[in-house]
Amino acid sequence: MSQAAFEQLVDISLTVNGERVEARVPAGRHVVDFLRLDLGLTGAHAGCEHGVCGACTLQIDGEIVRGCLILAAQMDGAEIWTIEGVTDSKEITDLQDNFVERNALQCGFCTPGMIFAARDILTRHQGVPSREDIREHISGNYCRCTGYEAIVDAIETTARARNSEQEAAE
């Protein structure tokens, strides 16, 4: 096996929203800049760029992560999903509709990250999570507009609807 040395520009091969991507990235570029500047996918937002605000939350290899705390250079072989991808696949249309319905976004800066955190608890939690559980799960995502109440409403509404659909199906 070739023993790679340090590189300033790193070749990576990965999938983004199900599509194969080959790229050469500067060693210090984080995933959000890679998506926004190199691939033109502007759904993931860069806010604080040190892990605090959650605006950059997206999915890598099946788990939610901070896009600003992961370097694109580390992404060889990875599978990334952004808000664009999960919107196109229509798997979270109900959640997105409930965000609009409940006024769970105003400026929208936090929304893509918030949706990923919400989607995560909706898929992981059996049954309907409590409002406390929902608050805990979105505690790493700042929203400076809504005051969170409407966001918790939208997630809870989605969880209830999904749960009754599932019960009806059983």
Partner 1 sequence: MKASVAGYARAQSLGHAFDLLQSAQGEAVVIAGGQSLVASLNLRLSEEALLVDIRHLPELRGVVLHEGVLRLGALTRHAELAQAPLVAEHAPLLTQAAPLIAHAAIRSRGTLGGSLANADPAAELPACMIALAAEILVRSAGNERRIPADAFFEGLFTTALEEGEIIVAVDIPLKAAGDRHVIRELTRRSGDYAIVGLAGVKSVDGVRLAYFGVSDKPVLAAGAMTILNSGGSIEDAVSALQDDLDPESDPHASAEYRRHLAAVLLRRVLADMTNS
Ligand X SMILES: Cc1cc2nc3c(=O)[nH]c(=O)nc-3n(C[C@H](O)[C@H](O)[C@H](O)COP(=O)(O)OP(=O)(O)OC[C@H]3O[C@@H](n4cnc5c(N)ncnc54)[C@H](O)[C@@H]3O)c2cc1C
Residues that bind partner 1 (CB under 8 A): 1, 3-8, 10, 26-30, 33, 49-51, 54, 57, 63-66, 68-71, 73-74, 76, 116-117, 120, 135-137, 139-141
Interacting partner of 7 out of partner 1, ligand FES, ligand X, none (Cβ under 5 to 8 A depending on kind): partner 1
d(CA 146, CA 17): 29
Q: What is the 3-state secondary structure (H, E, C) of 34-50?
A: HHHHHCCCCCCCCCCCC
On the CB side of 75, CA atoms within 13 Å amount to 34
Q: Which is nearer to ligand X, 69 or 100 (CB)?
A: 69
Residue 55, contacted partner among ligand FES, partner 1, ligand X, none, CB below 5-8 A by kind: ligand FES
**Smallest distance from ligand X to CB 52, Å:** 5
* Cβ(91)–Cβ(118) below 8 Å: no
Assigned token pair, 66: 């901070």
Residues of this chain that bind ligand FES (CB under 6 A) = 46-49, 51-56, 66, 68, 105-111, 143-146
Where does this chain bind ligand X (CB under 6 A)?
Answer: 51-52
Say if residues 156 and 101 touch (Cβ distance below 8 Å). Answer: no
Contacts of 34 (CB under 8 A, 6+ apart): 23, 25, 72, 75
Q: Based on CB atoms, which residue is closest to partner 1, 78 or 161?
A: 78
Cβ 164 to partner 1 shortest distance, Å: 26
